[in-house]
């Protein structure tokens, strides 16, 4: 194989020639052709103003729905709950003091019927795992 060196052989001419002083004036010609006016800047907020307000309105409505859907409590429910809370937190009141404030109808409502049938008692004792606990205690 023959030894090939690029520096020794004649180079092929491309055929393209630039005119003299072409690159000296190129930048001034390009700058002259550019637009002198600054482009008009439209902000994102101004362009989509209607969309922005529509999204904001939907968000406000979505956040307010739970407040409007709550069922308002009646005064009687609030009074009963307040009385029950007061009685449960005031442990200084004895059952005798509590009985003084109750009517005969209220006391009748508090009575519970503890009649246990023998069949039910036997079945529950047979099915219970802790029968020994009931017998010993």
pLDDT digits (tens, 9 = 90+) for 16-37: 888 888 888 888 888 888 867 7
Mean pLDDT (the chain, rounded): 78
Tell me the two tokens of residue 95: 């059952």
pLDDT at residue 30, as a whole number: 87
| Mean pLDDT, rounded, for 117-131 | 78
8-state DSSP, 7: T
pLDDT at residue 62, as a whole number: 93
CB 98 within 8 A of CB 87: yes
Round to whole Å and give the CA distance between 56 and 59.
Answer: 5
State percent of the chain over pLDDT 70: 80
| Mean pLDDT, rounded, for 66-95 | 73
State percent of the chain over pLDDT 90: 7
For the chain, what are the domain ranges?
75-136
Tell me the two tokens of residue 124: 């529950």
Compute φ and ψ for 101, nearest 5 degrees: -85, -10
């Amino acid at each position: 194989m023959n030894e090939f060196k690029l520096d020794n052989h004649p180079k092929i001419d491309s055929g393209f020639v630039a005119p003299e002083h072409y690159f000296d004036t190129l930048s001034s010609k390009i700058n002259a052709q550019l637009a002198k006016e600054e482009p008009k800047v439209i902000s994102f907020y101004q362009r989509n103003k209607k969309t922005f307000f529509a999204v904001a309105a939907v968000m406000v409505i979505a956040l307010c729905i739970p407040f409007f859907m709550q069922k308002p409590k009646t005064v009687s429910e609030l009074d009963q709950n307040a009385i029950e809370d007061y009685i449960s937190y005031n442990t200084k009141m004895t059952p005798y003091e509590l009985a003084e404030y109750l009517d005969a109808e209220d006391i009748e409502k508090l009575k519970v019927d503890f009649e246990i049938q023998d069949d039910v008692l036997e079945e529950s004792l047979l099915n219970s795992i802790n029968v020994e606990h009931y017998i010993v205690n």
